Amino acid sequence: MVAEPDARLGERAVAILGVRDGQSPPTLDDQRAHLERGGLAKQKWPESVRVVADLPSNALGQGPEAPAPPAAVPPLRDRRQGR
């Protein structure tokens, strides 16, 4: 999942999916049904799906981690002072 800019909301959730050769990609409805069965809260569901040919990964097969947006991490002095 990644955030995509949205004119009305600021951001919206997009599921990025890699699909193996010969397989058809799941639809947005397929993804939502799967997440509902798993009990994930609806506000965390993707609002769209993008299919890519290849997902980047490291030697362990893990995807890259995006850094937290600057507003999500308060400056160190504020955290120490409890603000």
Give the per-residue pLDDT at 70.
Answer: 53
Q: Are 44 and 12 in contact (CB under 8 A)?
A: no
In this structure, are residues 50 and 2 in contact, taking their beta carbons and an 8 Å threshold?
A: no
Flag residues of the chain having pLDDT under 70. 64, 66-83
**pLDDT score of 42:** 92
pLDDT at 33: 94
Instruction: Sketch the domain layout of the chain as residue ranges.
Output: 1-54
Q: What is the pLDDT of residue 45?
A: 92
Q: Which CATH number fits domain 1-54: 3.30.300.30, 3.40.50.2020, 1.50.10.10, 3.40.50.620?
A: 3.30.300.30
Strands (E), the chain: 2-6, 10-18, 48-52
